[in-house]
Structure 1
Amino acid sequence: MRHKEVIHLISSAISADSIGNQIETDTERKVFANEYSVGTSEYYNAASSGLRPAKMFEIYTFEYRDEAKLRHNSTTYRVIRSQGRGEKTILTCERVAADG
């Protein structure tokens, strides 16, 4: 299967400004992925732990650097599980609620 979906893996770094306040800076990297729907059993197993998986993406393992968030089609997701399978890694994600 071809990786036809574009996702942006988001890594965060914390730095200090001139007066010592901590500032979180996000860095995005574009990678190609396969998109999968979350299966019923996986959804309910995660829901029992308070998680709400919404999407799954398969990417090449060498492209994943333990990022905690990703963006797909203007929606930000939090990676709740990464599962390595040889040269591919599956990322299970839940949607990040908007502020406010």
Structure 2
Amino acid sequence: MTYDYEVTLIGQTFEEDEIGNQIPVETKMAILCDKKSASRSEFYNAAAAGLRPEFVLVVHAYEYSGEQVVEFEGSRYRVIRTYATGFEELELTCERVIGNG
């Protein structure tokens, strides 16, 4: 497997402002990945559930910490499914985030 692409994992932490309100703050980490097409069966099964998978990104499992949003090639995507393919690899099935998500 070649890791020829870069994806930015976007997580969320919370900080307190001066009066104690919890303010969400994005954390970003760029990692290398591989890109695969979503299979036909995966695409149609997801469409039946109202999801629109566009592609699958393969990342190292130890680099992924449950982030639900990624940035890939200038666009934001939501991770709708993860699947471990082995000890070190994890597939992230992604759909495009429309508007503010």
- RMSD of Structure 2 on Structure 1 (CA): 1.2
TM-score by length of 2: 0.90
Note the C-alpha offset of 1:58: 0.3
| Residue in 2 that maps onto 1:46 | 46
**1:33 corresponding residue in structure 2:** 33
Query: Would you say 1:98 and 2:94 are equivalent positions?
Result: no
CA offset digits 1:54-95 (Å, max 9, x no partner): 121001111111111110111000111010122100000110
1:2 CA drift (Å):
1.1
Amino acid at match of 2:99: A
The count of residues paired between Structure 1 and Structure 2 equals 99
What is the match of residue 23 of structure 1?
23
Task: Quote the Cα distance in structure 2 between the aligned partners of 1:12 and 1:78.
Answer: 14
Cross-structure match for 1:66: 66
| TM-score, structure 1 normalization | 0.91
3-state SS in 1 of match to 2:24: strand
**For 1:41, what is the secondary structure of its paired residue?**
helix
Q: Aligned-pair distance for 1:31?
A: 0.6
Runs of 4+ in 1 over 4 A off after TM superposition: none
Q: Which runs of 5+ in 2 are unaligned?
A: none
- Structure 1: state its 5+ residue gaps: none
Whole-Å Cα distance in 2 between the matches of residues 20 and 96 of structure 1? 30
